[in-house]
Structure 1
């Protein structure tokens, strides 16, 4: 009798258990799980699709749907992160994180179908190229292959049956017509568009909170300065790639702006870039790689001469900022091995120092914190300008 009761209780509990759903919110920086090492992580997605949809407020948003891969690693799945970048007259970037409300107990739905989810968000603009990438969380550990899935999507113009509901297309009106008919219908069309605009505005105000919005933060500008003995291809390029891919940084290098340096002069270029950058990183290493000499070259007019001229100039600008604590916070020192700074540049010891790859997570956190501070500073400056009008 007891065995029968236990079996019935198990069946009832299984019937009452809820299937996982998603709760989505904005997450533009790196996920917290990226900073922690995981023994086991989930695999990649099986499918990712994107299509535009019209909301009740006549807004055009992306309907992003994905299918989970049916394997044993689904038990370790906590969330799925989706990032969207748009390229048109204005570039945009934003990410959303969708947490699963329940742990996955089975590789497929109890009904036998695959686990499928969808998220509606990210505004679709006219004639814009979008790159949509998605990966599961917790993601792969640092220096491991990170499984992800991506698709491209290009939005059409006003002639599309969905995009015609965009405000720009509605304001353009009745253009497909020609001859005398537009002249007769112009007053009526103007009144109709005004009424539609007022109606859409009121409806948009009532239900605009139904869909989450994503704040698109610009990447932080980082000026990287390095001494001539560091190999550009083996060290500087790898470090630059790390900043761009993991720390949301827009890197400024003299190697990439030779034309501007020739036009402005090295001193003027360096002063301008130092003022524009939120952070200045002195990249140091006492490890001289013999392979580097053949790759980078030391011939007349080579990049070694430019780096040799740039590093002392950057160090002199740093020394001029030693008396200002505000300016001094802009500088960081990054090492590829633990070693003291040379006597000629021992003044850099007052700067925060990081060792790669041991302090990679801390370095990214520092740069992302500077990104938020820069955004707050721009908002405060804008508010001050409005209040003084």
Structure 2
């Protein structure tokens, strides 16, 4: 008791000497901000299991590095498998607090949990640009919540205590046997129901979740799938859809995405050809993003000779280079399997007559229709090598429609743009035929 009070008052005294910095954590559903100037990596991360009032909670404690970069710190993001993401903000900010003489500062947050093997990942915001190296600390904890102890029931005699051989006491024996029999059969029936529910969940869980607006993704907790994205330079609407797809795969799809929009400085140093070759070597998959085959450029689209500022100049060089690379691997099915085609927008023509000849042998996905299929396929090989215990304890994660909103909006905008172009081109063709 005295040791507990000493630790409590010591922690209170420490908080007061640090300008009483308070941390407030709330649920966070947005994409994390990215900036060229960002705070340094966390010094340390510790996760402990506590029991508060008979409830299992995770004590997530992290240490902030007190250096010049804290002026850029806007918050800390906590990601826990199977639970919502939390954003923790500091009041006052660390840049305004008096932290003279401190090299690091510890904070903590308590989150209710249950049995399992959750992965806890923590990073400071804003994040550095993709490809900058390690940005977060993570810990995997094996949670086994203690079971609450149940009091031993007290048996009350059915008859008078002074008459142990009366018929009243003798009649309790068949009653007890009946209770034991009911308990055994009830336990077996409950076990059978649980097994049936588990089998139904494993076979039909994905379809049930999909019917209520959720989709399931398999993810690798420690090593994201390296993915390279190359796209055709079409227009600003298509550019925004490509960027939204890259951000979704980076933050929700368990991938490490390389795209020219995020690595323009490196492309300028190496050149488009060398950068593309190096990225293809390290990537597990190369996603070639293009519009639907029915999409035809029109006067409303930007001219390739004078690209808009939102489209990097390297995009005009990388797309022809990747087509040549795909053509060079056409005779090898194993090498060609690395290249996938992703079409953005509503599919209007089942025959890909306008798709580049080099891409017609590649595996093709259509968004938003095949988004879940694309994510599952990216993780299929790594999912096959996981052991059975990992599959039972960590079957996957789910994402809702809200998390795909930033991807769905630009893709639907692109679909409307394609539909308007198609409707404008039909009268033009009829006039030409009549002449």
For the aligned pair, the TM-score class normalised by the smaller chain equals 0.3 to 0.5
TM-score (norm 1): 0.44
TM-score (norm 2): 0.40
Larger radius of gyration: 2
